[in-house]
Every structure is written in C-alpha cells, then in structure tokens.
Amino acid sequence: FFISTGWEKKLQNAVYSELNVFPSPCHPAAPPEHMKEPLAYMRKAQGSWEKRILKSLNSMCTELSIPLAQKRPASEQKELLNKWNEMGTDEPDLSLFRPVYAPKDFLEVLMNLRNPNYENGEQPSFRNHLGLIQVPLKVKDIPELKEDFNELGLNTGQLGIDDSAQVPPEFFESEHVRVGQKVLAEQDSAAAQQYVRQGCPTALRADLWALILNISNQPEDILYYEQLKSNVIQHDLLVDSLIYKDVKLTASNDDYYFVFEDYLYQVLLCFSRDTSVLEHFTYSSATPPKSYIQGKRNFYKKRSGRFLLTTTVVPLNYNSFILSVAPLCFLYHEPSKLYQIFREMYVRFFFRLHSISSHPSGIVSLCLLFETLLQTHLPQLFYHLREIGAQPLRISFKWMVRAFSGYLATDQLLLLWDRILGYNSLEILAVLAAAVFAFRAVNLMEVTSLAAAE
C-alpha cells in the first residue's frame, strides 16, 4: 500500500531531508548548547555579536522614535493589502534608516576570533597562517576536497561546460537530461541530490530543487504563507523599513533582479515574521532578537502584559539576504512556493554565512578554507597581496557571504547553487573563491593596491 500510493517515497524523502540537517551524534552527556556548537568561544562570540546587533537596532528605534513592532491602523492595512503586489512603487522616506551592519563589520569580528586554549604567540608567517582568520579549525585540503567533490572531476560531464553549443548533445547533455527526467518521475530526493552534482538542466531545476528540499507546496503550506502575509498587513516592524531600503539599494539596481523587486518584498517581509524559522535554531547556537508588541495603552491600562509577536531573524544585513532570494525568482513565480524554497535554503545553508560557528560550512571555516587553499597553492600571490595591503579575504569575503549572488551571471550562479544542494555543503564557495584568484593570478601579481585588485 505504501509503495503504490507513493507514500513510501514521500516518507523516504522526508527522512532523507531530515538527515541532511540533523547534527551529527555526540556525547550523551553534552548539554544542548554544546550540541549546537561545541566550541565555547564560538558560542560566546556569536552571543556578543547578537547583542551588538540588538543594541544597534534598539538605539535606532530610540533615535527614530519608532517601536520595534507596532500594529498598523486599519486604513494602512487596507492600503498595504491593495499594494501587496507592487510594493516597489511605494517609496517612503528611508533616508534616516541605515543598515545595521556591513559585511566588513562582520569580517572584523571574525578576524578577531581567538581560541583561548590555543597559544599562538608566533607572528603570522608561512609556517602557520598568513591570513586574517586566526582560529585553529580543521579545514580540508585539496586531496580531501577532490575526494569529496568527486563528481566535479575532469572526467565527469558537467552542465555549464559540456553542454555548450560546440559540444554535440549526444556527448553528455541528452543523457543527463534523460536521467534528470527519470529522477523527477521517481520523486526520489536522494537520487536528485546526487544528480544535481553535475548540474541541473534549466527546465528541470525548479522541480529538482523542490524535490531535494522536500517542498511540495501543499494547501497547508499555502495557508501558512497567507497567514504570514496577513501578519505583515496587520503589524509593522522596524526591520521592514530596513528590508525596504536594502532592496532599493541592491535588487532595484541589479540588471538581472530588478524585475522581481516586488517579490522580494513579499518574501522578506513574511520571512521576518516566520516563527517556524526558530526551529532551525535547534542546530545553531544563534538566537534571533525577538520583538514584542505593546498593546494599545488604553486597552491595557491596568495590565503590564506584552505578548510575543514575532521574531526577527539575525542577519540584519539584508543586502546578503536579498541577493540570496533574488536568483530563486528565476525559478519560482508562485509567491508561496518561492517563499518556502527560500526559507528552506536559508535554514539549511545560508544562515551559516551570517553566524559564528565551527561548522565546516560556517563562514569562519569557509574563510579559513579559502585562505588555506590560497596560501598553500599560490603562496607567492598570497604574499604579494598581503604586502600591498590587499589581504585576499577582504576581497572574497563579500562573494562568499552572498554565495556569489550579484557577482555571477544568474545562469552560472544557479549552476553553483546546484552543487551546494548536491553536496549539502557551502565549501564549494571557498573553493570557487580561491579558483577565481588562481585564474586571475597573473594580473593580480601586477597590482599595487587593494582597489586595483578589486
């Protein structure tokens, strides 16, 4: 019965999905925080980073005399509902809002991370580590990476290379497409994940990603999205203005993504009210700042109660955030499906780019991986750039923190994200960043300043 109705497959997919995100087993006596993040100094760093952001947010509230959250008056609610599909044309005065932090602020924090148990009195040199990140995390070297990323080897066909116009389709492309269609017909998550390591055909990508992320857009999912939407209509959050401003600064000016500006507002405004995102924090030590709604004073005159409205999610630098939603607009044009795909991508991958942890796909490890690769294989280049005050990480950090969105043409970006999904890891971002430097090594050896290097 299970097999014939397809439920077996669905169960398998759901289990596989959970396995992907489940943290590895550890010592039974370990406390929950330890499970989320085993290194105490990392937890501490993340905690203080969050405090800093929250402080910044609160002071912005005070400065502008705007509460973190408030209920919208009925007329404003109605107006917003009418304009739901074209929020892009509404231009409130955003000049007083500033982004809570910039990528380089975050980089500064990462640079200053130190393991208190590790004595590193030595000056940075080729014998240890020349880069900006000075924590002793284990990162993979080339032989290990080669093994992990076996399917990206030169002898294996890849979409994006082996399907170009000069190559006859019989060589690789036709067969690959056929296999892809079969995988979709079978509705097998695990197979899909394996398949996309060689790239997705554009026509199959939307469905394959949904399969891997186990998103099926059921009626209850659509209902959930509608609830979030009504939440947006009813309550106004300070972060809404920050989102608005950041979308205007990034996506509206982008050659590829300006078309989808309105979708971005819809997705991000809903996302910042989505309490289900909290669940993912069971495997991350980050905790989002929560905002509470003040009841109307006359109603709550005799009470001092407040009630939890929503959470706002940690990465208040919406810049990176926005650019991780935008490419998805090329794949999904139904808002609720687009929303779910984004949310899933966020809780599986992208949040690691904004929080401090020791996870191999966390931004700290990625930075270290990048620097190590570069230092090991292009030592002359690394040294030269360092000497001219252009530490390579300063350039590549923003690429990685945005998963290259905004830095690659969309079709190439999607091929990159195929691999992120396929390998369930962000390590490929660091490898790509290092490869870019390798590719441009000759030119870079000749530059004499950070600006020129950029």
Instruction: Restricting to residues 62-81, name those near other proteins by CB under 8 A.
Output: none
Q: Assess contact for 341 and 269: CB atoms under 8 A.
A: no
Q: Where are the alpha helices (DSSP H) in 112-163?
A: 142-148
Nearest approach in angstroms of CB 144 to other proteins is 34
Q: How many CA atoms lie within 13 A of 234 on its CB side?
A: 10
Cα 98 to the center of its chain, rounded Å: 21
Interacting residue with other proteins among 58, 128, 150, 253 (CB under 8 A): 253
Binding mask 288-327 for other proteins (x = CB under 8 A): ----------------------------------------
Q: Assess contact for 314 and 354: CB atoms under 8 A.
A: yes
Rounded Cα gap, residues 445 and 379, in angstroms:
11
**Max intra-chain CA distance, the chain:** 77
Q: For other proteins, which is the closer residue by CB, 12 or 181?
A: 181
Q: For other proteins, which is the closer residue by CB, 88 or 288?
A: 88
Rounded Cα gap, residues 273 and 287, in angstroms:
15
Q: For other proteins, which is the closer residue by CB, 413 or 434?
A: 413
Q: Assess contact for 204 and 184: CB atoms under 8 A.
A: yes
Rounded Cα gap, residues 27 and 34, in angstroms:
10
Q: For other proteins, which is the closer residue by CB, 263 or 382?
A: 263
What is the number of helices (H) and of strands (E) in the chain? 21, 4
Nearest approach in angstroms of CB 414 to other proteins is 8
Q: For other proteins, which is the closer residue by CB, 206 or 368?
A: 206
Q: For other proteins, which is the closer residue by CB, 181 or 214?
A: 181
Instruction: Restricting to residues 389-428, name those near other proteins by CB under 8 A.
Output: 410-411
Interacting residue with other proteins among 244, 263, 346, 370 (CB under 8 A): 263
Interacting residue with other proteins among 172, 244, 256, 423 (CB under 8 A): 256
Q: Is 254 in the site for other proteins (CB under 8 A)?
A: yes
User: Is the alpha carbon torsion for 191, 193, 195, 200 positive or negative?
Assistant: positive
Q: Is 329 in the site for other proteins (CB under 8 A)?
A: yes
Q: Is 255 in the site for other proteins (CB under 8 A)?
A: yes
Q: Assess contact for 320 and 352: CB atoms under 8 A.
A: no
Interacting residue with other proteins among 252, 275, 287, 294 (CB under 8 A): 252
Q: Assess contact for 369 and 139: CB atoms under 8 A.
A: yes
Nearest approach in angstroms of CB 203 to other proteins is 4
Task: Mark the segment that binds other proteins (CB under 8 A) among 24-32, 328-336, 373-381, 430-438.
Answer: 328-336
Q: For other proteins, which is the closer residue by CB, 311 or 410?
A: 410
Instruction: Restricting to residues 425-454, name those near other proteins by CB under 8 A.
Output: none
Angle separating helix axes 40-64 and 238-249, nearest 10 degrees: 100
405-415: buried (b, 16+ CB within 10 Å) or exposed (e) per residue? bbbbebeebbb
Task: Mark the segment that binds other proteins (CB under 8 A) among 221-229, 259-267, 284-292, 382-390.
Answer: 259-267
Rounded Cα gap, residues 266 and 260, in angstroms:
10
Cβ-Cβ contacts under 8 Å for 22 (sequence gap 6 or more): 283
Interacting residue with other proteins among 152, 159, 331, 421 (CB under 8 A): 331
Q: Is 19 in the site for other proteins (CB under 8 A)?
A: no
Cα dist. 403→299, 373, 399, 416, 423 in Å? 47, 18, 6, 9, 15
Binding mask 182-211 for other proteins (x = CB under 8 A): -------------------xxx-xx-----
Interacting residue with other proteins among 37, 188, 262, 418 (CB under 8 A): 262
Q: For other proteins, which is the closer residue by CB, 150 or 412?
A: 412
Nearest approach in angstroms of CB 423 to other proteins is 21
Q: For other proteins, which is the closer residue by CB, 193 or 250?
A: 250
Helix (H, G, I), strand (E, B) or coil at 62: helix
Q: Is 175 in the site for other proteins (CB under 8 A)?
A: no
Instruction: Restricting to residues 78-117, name those near other proteins by CB under 8 A.
Output: 85-86, 88-89
- Spatial CA neighbour of 130 closest among 412, 384, 404: 384
Cβ-Cβ contacts under 8 Å for 257 (sequence gap 6 or more): 250, 251, 264, 323, 326, 327, 329
Helix (H, G, I), strand (E, B) or coil at 314: coil
Binding mask 154-173 for other proteins (x = CB under 8 A): -----------x--------
Cβ-Cβ contacts under 8 Å for 5 (sequence gap 6 or more): none
Nearest approach in angstroms of CB 260 to other proteins is 5
Q: For other proteins, which is the closer residue by CB, 177 or 278?
A: 177
Give the binding site for other proteins (CB under 8 A).
85-86, 88-89, 165, 201-203, 205-206, 252-256, 258-263, 329-333, 410-411
